[in-house]
Copies of this chain bind each other. A is one copy, B any other.
Amino acid sequence: MIIVMNHAAAQSSIDRVIAEIEKMGNKAHLSRGEFRTVIGAVGEEGSLDQNHLASLDGVEKVVPIMKPYKLASREFKSEDSIVEIGGGKTPVVKIGGEHAACIAGPCAVENEQMLKRIAKHVRDGGATILRGGVYKPRTSPYSFQGLGLQALKWMRETGDELGMPICVEVMDTRQVADMEPYVDCFQIGARNMQNFDLLREVGKTRKGVLLKRGLAATVKDWLLSAEYVLSQGNRSVILCERGIKTFEDSIRYTLDVTSIPVAKQWSHLPMIVDPSHAAGKRDYVPSLAHAGMAAGAHGVIVEVHYNPSEAQCDGPQALLPEVFKDLMVQLRKIAAIFGKEFAEVGEMASV
**Interfacial residues, chain A to chain B (CB-CB below 8 A):** 2, 4, 7, 29, 31-36, 38, 40, 42-46, 51-52, 54-57, 63, 65-66, 68-69, 75, 137-142, 171-174, 191-192, 194-198, 200, 215-221, 224-225, 227-228, 231, 243-251, 253-262, 265-266, 278-279, 283-284, 287-288, 290-296, 308-311, 313-316, 318, 330, 333-334, 337-338
Contact = CB atoms under 8 A, between A and B. Distances in A.
Nearest to A2: B2
Contact of A248 (B54, B138, B256, B291): B256
Contact of A191 (B172, B195, B262): B195
22 contacts: A4-B65, A34-B43, A52-B309, A52-B310, A63-B63, A141-B200, A171-B196, A173-B174, A174-B197, A216-B216, A217-B247, A218-B247, A218-B250, A220-B250, A243-B258, A248-B262, A250-B266, A251-B258, A254-B259, A258-B279, A287-B294, A334-B334
How many copies of this chain are found per oligomer? 4
Given A31-B42, A52-B315, A288 B283 contact: no
Contacts of A44: 34
A55 B216 CA distance: 27
